[in-house]
Amino acid sequence: MGRVRFDSADVDGLRIFYREAGPRDAPVLLLLHGFPTSGHMFRDLIPRLSDRFRLIAPDLPGFGQSAMPSRSDFKYTFDAIADRIDRFTEVLALTRFAVYVFDYGAPTGFRLAVRRPERITAIISQNGNAYEEGLSEGWNPIRGYWSDGSAQNREALRAFLKPETTIWQYTHGVSDITAISPDGYSLDNHYLARAGADEVQLDLFGDYKSNVALYPKFQEYFRTHQPPFLAVWGRNDPFFLPAGAEAFKRDMPKAEVHFFDTGHFALETHGAEISTVIRAFLSATVK
């Protein structure tokens, strides 16, 4: 089991914090987190795989320990986040890598794959969506903001930023909530409480419509390039439905899909089981 290293990279003047473990010459797995968390969500997965793979988990711009520039200095869109993560891989000289995508990490990682498919060795999606049928009714308030970006509709989305909502995201759909460590959601709430973080997250809620608009392009990439693909999905996710996981097989018939009896943050309860599936998948597909 390799030692976890904590470092930062200067990416065109923006500091990107990241966790890394595993042999430097091993196959690379880039871990991309979602809302409202950070690379901390991979704290248990990384040591379970670091004997065989080099794992790198950056905090996205505006999240975790990475820089959160002002909204006047950085446009918080998924295109801009993908741009910086793409450059991050160049700064670290990552020429070929598998990518693990979760939640916001999915539209980020899928953009990287579409832009430079030759760099992607495999994709693992853990509740990372690319199909309309994967979006639950829980998205309705955010969809309302997409169609009418009024101050009133923007203000209504602040409910998603409340501490109790973060806890709910971790515990909903989990059969035994005593399995959920409070460390994850407490840290997420700490970052959400920073000055200006609320407006950053509201901007990203608004821009999420750009991801849905790109679904056809993501699906075209899947059909054209047929990357080795694994979906490991919390079946009881209130935002991303099982139908979204099954849909990957429509464009990639060889995709593997595994469901776990848990919610959105599946690693919190089923990290050991998911790491076992990932190890077998990557060992068979990535040399």
Cα separation, 30 vs 97, whole angstroms:
7
Cα separation, 249 vs 255, whole angstroms:
6
For 162, the 3-state DSSP assignment is: coil
Q: What are phi and psi of 100, to 5 degrees?
A: -105, 120
> How many other CB atoms sit within 10 Å of the CB of residue 73?
9
Give catalytic residues, as residue numbers.
264
Write out the H or E segment, with its range, that includes residue 76: none
Q: How far separated are the first and last CA of the chain, in Å rounded? A: 19
Best CA proximity match to 111, nearest among 30, 232, 11:
30
Write out the H or E segment, with its range, that includes residue 108: helix 105-115
Inter-CA distances, 123 with 126, 155, 227, Å: 10, 35, 7
